């Protein structure tokens, strides 16, 4: 069994607890910072939308364009990011029901 550590990440001012490999922590935190910055950009560009729309737009961008959204380093992390983004989407869906 892999050694996973629990961390709290913030997406659009909400905290989520996830378990990751220790060596992935820095990349996850950096990516989540970029996702939150992108959410703020979308809020500015598309005023009047629902917060979930901004979250979805940011996460879709990262899931479909890992190279252009975060640089070469994220390209190698695409499967990892897709798994984590899917987990976040599931958490959001459960919370909004």
- Domain-by-domain residue ranges, the chain? 5-96
Q: Report how far apart, in Å, the C-alpha atoms of 37 and of each of 10, 20, 33, 34, 95 are.
A: 11, 22, 6, 5, 22
pTM more than 0.75: no
Question: Each residue of 8-28: pLDDT tens digit?
Answer: 999 888 999 999 999 999 989
Per-residue pLDDT of 41-66, as tens digits, reads 999 998 878 888 898 888 888 778 75
């Amino acid at each position: 069994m892999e050694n996973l550590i629990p961390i709290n990440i913030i997406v659009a001012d909400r905290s989520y607890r996830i378990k990751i490999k220790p060596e992935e922590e820095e990349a996850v935190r950096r990516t989540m910072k970029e996702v939150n910055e992108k959410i703020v950009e979308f809020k500015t560009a598309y005023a009047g939308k629902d917060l979930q729309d901004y979250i979805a737009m940011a996460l879709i961008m990262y899931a479909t364009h890992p190279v252009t959204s975060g640089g070469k380093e994220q390209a190698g992390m695409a499967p990892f990011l897709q798994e984590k983004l899917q987990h976040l989407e599931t958490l959001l869906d459960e919370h909004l029901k």
